Amino acid sequence: MPFRETLLNLAITAVLVLIVVLAGILLKESRPGPVAAIPVHVPSAATEPTARAATAQFEIFPRPVLIESRANEADTLRVRIRDEEHVFVLYFVDALEASMNHPQVVAEQGRFFHHASDKTITDTGAEAAAYVNDLLKTRPFHVLTRWEQVANTGRYYAIIVVETGPGKREYLANLLMRNGYARIGAMETELPGGTPSVPAYFEQLKQLRLEAEREKLGIWAKISR
């Protein structure tokens, strides 16, 4: 091949290579870049609860929602009110403990219920917690609170009223006593409307406890005298 033709072929090859390289660069630059991610707001189930100051009168919250929690017990319940969650502890009653998280309380309850064993107390406490969970999941209820805080906690005392039937409402405290799931507690308050009086209401609770004991309901079915 003459030298002139060889140079011409080399020149053509170099031009072709240059064209390929330039085409590749142009294609890369024309390709759209990655699309920026759009932040998606995921709403939380409930906002952080606001600390509440105690009030002189009861605030009534109709139809709140029970939030299932491993920390729930028969007398200690996590409840959603509007867009906040709070833990409420019942006035007037001390329900059976569902675990050994508070061994001193379990021991005190055992002594009260005729020296019942720790296991008897906690097994019945778990039964009581399940009873309340099922009740408040299937029946409308109201929370009445003055935002009186349980000492050294973020919990508040409350009265819970359950709609047990058409036009029929009962205090959850009464239901726990009547079913043998609680003893009378130390924390009291004036009832809404002032009726009955605190001493009269304690007497009602005592009578409900005696009925449960007589009929061997709840803890009374598992102990002997």
Whether the predicted pLDDT of 9 surpasses 90 = no
> Taking 60 as the threshold, does the pLDDT of residue 6 lie above it?
no
Mean pLDDT of 198-214: 97
Closest CA to 123 of 184, 186, 74: 74
Split at pLDDT 50, 70, 90, the class of 39 is very low
Residue whose token pair is 């029929």: 168
Segment 133-147 shows an average pLDDT of 97
Could you give the CA distance from residue 64 to residue 136 in angstroms, rounded to a whole number? 10
- pTM for the whole structure: 0.78
Fold of 59-221: OB fold (Dihydrolipoamide Acetyltransferase, E2P) (2.40.50)
- On the question of pLDDT at 42 being above 70, the answer is no
57-80 burial: b if 16+ Cβ within 10 Å, else e: ebeebeebebeeeeebbbbbbbbb
Domain ranges of the chain: 59-221
pLDDT in the model for residue 14: 58
State how beta strands 65-66 and 76-81 pair.
antiparallel
